[in-house]
Structure 1
């Protein structure tokens, strides 16, 4: 199996910036292309996090960290100039990254449990809907407090699609003759589950396990589609390792096809394929979350963003949430 070592793309001098980066996306801000991601929280007890903005090809002086009104779980580019849709705590809100302003919540999840907050998300093809999940911040696999939701932009409605999850993470869409398919990760299960998604009926019908990842090191976290029937899954390794991994799998056969490694950073959180002038690159976020001091000392790159070459000549174009 091909193995490619990623290199550090963005390092951080402050430890809070390394705590829990996730959900990298490509956006346009002030007419410039930008890489954006969330840092869910700044330390283990924090009740707030940040949105980070990086302008590739610049000296970094325009990069920024924008405080959030709570802990952000995802950031998705929108069709309204400079704007992104952000899941913060239990609400969906629009943030204008050019002027650092927030709207009032568009919608909230019908769940008042203090242990659950919004986590990962993906835009449904066409941009009129988003599927997102929540996580139990105590990661109690027995309690199963988290849920999977559908948000529709035309009416700002939120509906429960799947209940009794623990930590809802990576999502990828595909389609076949029978309609839209949602591939979804509930991290502690170590599985990618297939659902038949009917947006009009607001339902997700279970359709078997696409990937059983129980034999992989670490827990599956974020996931992105490659546009060819394969997906890249980031693995969060709670134990010490000299490097982390993101692995590409066939959704048809379940076979592991290739991997990318992150030296000095075993807790890989999310992958993003981006088409750049030098070819299709893989961006990986990693985290220092939960590392005891002795492990952190042995993982110098924990919490950095990484970038790696790929063999792809193209990758899926980013969707935009249709909010305007």
Structure 2
């Protein structure tokens, strides 16, 4: 299996910036291409996080970190450039990243449990809907407090698709003759589960396990589509390791095809494929979340963002949310 070592793309001087970066996305901010991601929380006890903005090809002086009114689980680009859709705590809100303003809540999830917050999300092809999940902040595999939701932009409605999850993470869409397919990760299960998604009926019908990742080191976290029937899954390793991993799998056969490694950072959270002038690159967020001091000392790149070369000639064009 081919293995490619990623290199540090963005390092941080402040420890809180390394805690829990996730969900990198390509967006247009102030008329310029930008990489945006969330830092879900700033430390283990924090009740707030940030949206980070980086302008590739610059000296970083225009980069920024915008404080959020809570812990953000995802940030998604919208057709209204400068604005992003953010899942923060239990609400969906729009944030203008140029003037740092927030709208009131577009929608609130029907869940008042203080342990659950919004986590990862993906835009349904066409941009008129978003599937997102929640996580139990205590990661209690027996309680199963988290849920998977559908948000539709035309009416700002939120519907529960799947209940009894623990930590809803990476999502990818595909389609076949029978309609739209959702691939979803509930991290502690170490599986990628297939659902038949009917947006009009607001249902997700289980359709088997696409990937059983029980033999992989670490827990599957974020996931991205490669556009060729394969996906890249980031693995969060709670134990010490000299490097982290993101692995490409065939959704048809379950075979592991290649990997990318992150030296000095074992807790890989999310992948993103981007097409740049020099080719298709893989961006990886990593985290220092939960590391004891002695482990953190042995993982100098924990929480950095990484970039790696790929052999892809192309990758899926990024979707944007089409707000009503």
Fold shared by both chains (TM-score > 0.5)? yes
SS at match of 1:294: helix
User: TM-score normalized by structure 1?
Assistant: 1.00
Q: Is the 8 A contact 2:6 2:262 kept in 1?
A: yes
- The equivalent of 2:289 in structure 1 is 289
Structure-1 separation of matches of 2:22 and 2:299: 18
SS at match of 1:254: coil
Q: CA deviation at 1:98?
A: 0.7
Per-residue deviation, residues 235-261 of structure 1 (Å, max 9, x unmatched): 000000000000000000000000000
List gaps (5 residues or longer) in structure 1.
none
Structure-1 separation of matches of 2:285 and 2:323: 27
SS at match of 1:127: coil
User: TM-score normalized by structure 2?
Assistant: 1.00
Per-residue deviation, residues 21-49 of structure 1 (Å, max 9, x unmatched): 00000000011000000000000000000
Q: CA deviation at 1:276?
A: 0.3
Q: CA deviation at 1:300?
A: 0.1
Structure-1 separation of matches of 2:47 and 2:97: 21
Structure-2 separation of matches of 1:174 and 1:202: 17
List gaps (5 residues or longer) in structure 2.
none
- Are residue 207 (structure 1) and residue 204 (structure 2) matched? no
Q: Is the 8 A contact 2:185 2:191 kept in 1?
A: yes
Per-residue deviation, residues 203-256 of structure 1 (Å, max 9, x unmatched): 000000000000000000000000000000000000000000000000000000
SS at match of 1:33: strand
Structure-1 separation of matches of 2:25 and 2:80: 16
Structure-2 separation of matches of 1:49 and 1:29: 20
Q: CA deviation at 1:285?
A: 0.1
Structure-1 separation of matches of 2:63 and 2:100: 13
Per-residue deviation, residues 258-303 of structure 1 (Å, max 9, x unmatched): 0000000000000000000000000000000000000000000000
Structure-2 separation of matches of 1:323 and 1:94: 10
Q: CA deviation at 1:75?
A: 0.4
Structure-2 separation of matches of 1:237 and 1:101: 36
SS at match of 2:283: strand
SS at match of 1:26: strand
Q: Is the 8 A contact 2:27 2:81 kept in 1?
A: no
Give the total of aligned pairs. 324
Q: CA deviation at 1:81?
A: 1.9
Structure-1 separation of matches of 2:30 and 2:184: 33
- How well do the aligned residues superpose, as a CA RMSD in angstroms? 0.3
Per-residue deviation, residues 29-81 of structure 1 (Å, max 9, x unmatched): 01100000000000000000000000000110000000000000000000012
Structure-2 separation of matches of 1:60 and 1:234: 26
SS at match of 1:16: helix
Q: Is the 8 A contact 2:66 2:100 kept in 1?
A: yes
- The equivalent of 1:269 in structure 2 is 269
Structure-2 separation of matches of 1:258 and 1:197: 29
- Are residue 135 (structure 1) and residue 127 (structure 2) matched? no
